[in-house]
């Protein structure tokens, strides 16, 4: 049963039902839906055996990394192949979403407006809102933004389950702090990609916080783990040729747009942590500062651990 019932179709039911109709199998397609007066009240799905959710598996990988103090590639729980497969799954998801809901011309002005609205909802005094909004405003005049499609909207490592041979993507309700209609707006597939790259960064930051941020060797290992898995995830996404037509045509445009969405995601994380875990708000605040200063541009290779 849904904890928060709102009039009309529930976004999670709406999306997974549509994906099932186009044959995309990496989501929990509804088996039965309880509707009353065109409003979704509950849904039944098939139980899936899994190895665990992505964030849990990433945390296990980081724990082993910190205990062994060896480069990520030398660890038994190295996450890189999981990250590559996840990138491929997400790309196939976007292709299926475009088939199910259609694709349209990107509207950078609308994206900038939505981002600015969220930024001002946060209004925590912890962020340089004027500087952030200037970056968002670049979308209003950008020429190469790719397409807009229905997206997941809140994609991160805790929203995916590792099955035997693939990943399953869960919970298409979107970011709960955003208005429902805003969550339904078509957006760039790179918004989901940014959610996942931020999730890798967040997992490493939280693991480092738990094990000792003052330990320089662990910081280097955490950076190496993040670079390895973000780059491998992005490479996996790029393996799916059909997803390329949904993205900006040039590599610089793709990288720039991804950075803007990463900034928007970090701003959302500030709002989330202030509301739910204020003791952790420094993590996304620091991420916003790094993104503003260009320090989160990931190198092509891992730093020496």
- Radius of gyration of the chain measured on its C-alpha atoms: 19
Q: What is the CATH number of the domain that holds 141?
A: 3.90.1200.10
Range of the structural domain that residue 208 is part of: 49-292
Q: Answer whether residue 19 shows pLDDT above 90.
A: yes
Q: What tens digit of pLDDT does each residue of 272-287 get?
A: 999 899 999 999 999 9
Contacts of 226 (CB under 8 A, 6+ apart): 200, 201, 204, 298
Output the pLDDT for position 265. Answer: 96
Q: What tens digit of pLDDT does each residue of 35-62 get?
A: 777 777 777 877 878 899 999 999 999 9
- Is residue 1 assigned to a domain? no
Q: Answer whether residue 83 shows pLDDT above 50.
A: yes
- Is residue 19 assigned to a domain? no
Strand partners, 76: none
- Is residue 104 assigned to a domain? yes
| pLDDT bucket at 1, cuts 50 / 70 / 90 | low
Burial class (CB in 10 A: 0-12, 13-18, 19+), 271: buried
| Mean pLDDT value across residues 212-224 | 89
The residue behind tokens 């055996």 is 49
- Is residue 297 assigned to a domain? no
**pTM over cut 0.85:** yes
Residue 119: what are its φ and ψ, rounded to 5°? -55, -45
Expressed in angstroms, the distance from the first to the final Cα of the chain is 47
- Is residue 116 assigned to a domain? yes
- Is residue 9 assigned to a domain? no
- Is residue 10 assigned to a domain? no
Instruction: Quote the CA–CA distance of 7 and 37 in Å, as a whole number.
Output: 9
Q: What tens digit of pLDDT does each residue of 134-175 get?
A: 999 999 999 999 999 999 999 999 999 999 889 999 999 887
Burial class (CB in 10 A: 0-12, 13-18, 19+), 294: exposed
- Note whether 53 and 158 are within 8 A (CB): yes
Q: Could you give the C-alpha distances from 300 to 106, 230, 233, in angstroms and in order? A: 28, 10, 13
Q: How many domains does the chain have?
A: 1
Q: Answer whether residue 34 shows pLDDT above 80.
A: no
- Is residue 24 assigned to a domain? no
């Amino acid at each position: 049963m849904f904890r928060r019932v709102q009039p009309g179709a529930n976004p999670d039911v709406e999306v997974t039902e549509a994906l099932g109709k186009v044959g995309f199998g990496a989501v929990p397609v509804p088996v039965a839906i309880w509707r009353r007066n065109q409003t979704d009240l509950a849904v039944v799905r098939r139980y899936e055996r899994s190895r665990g959710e992505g964030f849990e598996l990433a945390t296990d990988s980081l724990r082993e990394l910190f205990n062994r103090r060896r480069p990520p590639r030398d660890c038994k729980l190295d996450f890189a192949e999981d990250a590559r497969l996840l990138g491929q799954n997400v790309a196939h998801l976007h292709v299926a979403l475009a088939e199910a809901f259609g694709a349209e011309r990107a509207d950078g002005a609308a994206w900038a407006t939505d981002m600015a609205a969220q930024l001002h909802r946060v209004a925590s005094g912890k962020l340089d809102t004027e500087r952030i909004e200037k970056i968002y405003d670049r979308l209003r005049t950008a020429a190469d933004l790719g397409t807009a499609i229905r997206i997941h909207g809140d994609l991160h490592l805790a929203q995916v389950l590792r099955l035997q041979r693939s990943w399953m993507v869960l919970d298409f309700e979107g970011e709960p702090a955003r208005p429902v209609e805003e969550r339904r707006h078509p957006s760039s597939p790179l918004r989901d990609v940014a959610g996942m790259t931020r999730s890798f960064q967040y997992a490493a930051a939280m693991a480092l916080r738990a094990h000792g941020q003052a330990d320089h060797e662990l910081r280097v290992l955490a950076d190496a783990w993040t670079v390895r898995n973000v780059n491998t995830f992005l490479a996996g996404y790029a393996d799916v040729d059909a997803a390329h037509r949904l993205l900006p045509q040039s590599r610089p445009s793709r990288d720039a747009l991804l950075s803007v969405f990463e900034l928007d995601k970090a701003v959302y994380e500030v709002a989330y942590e202030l509301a739910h875990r204020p003791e952790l708000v420094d993590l996304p605040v620091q991420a916003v500062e790094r993104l503003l200063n260009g320090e989160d541009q990931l190198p092509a290779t891992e730093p020496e651990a």
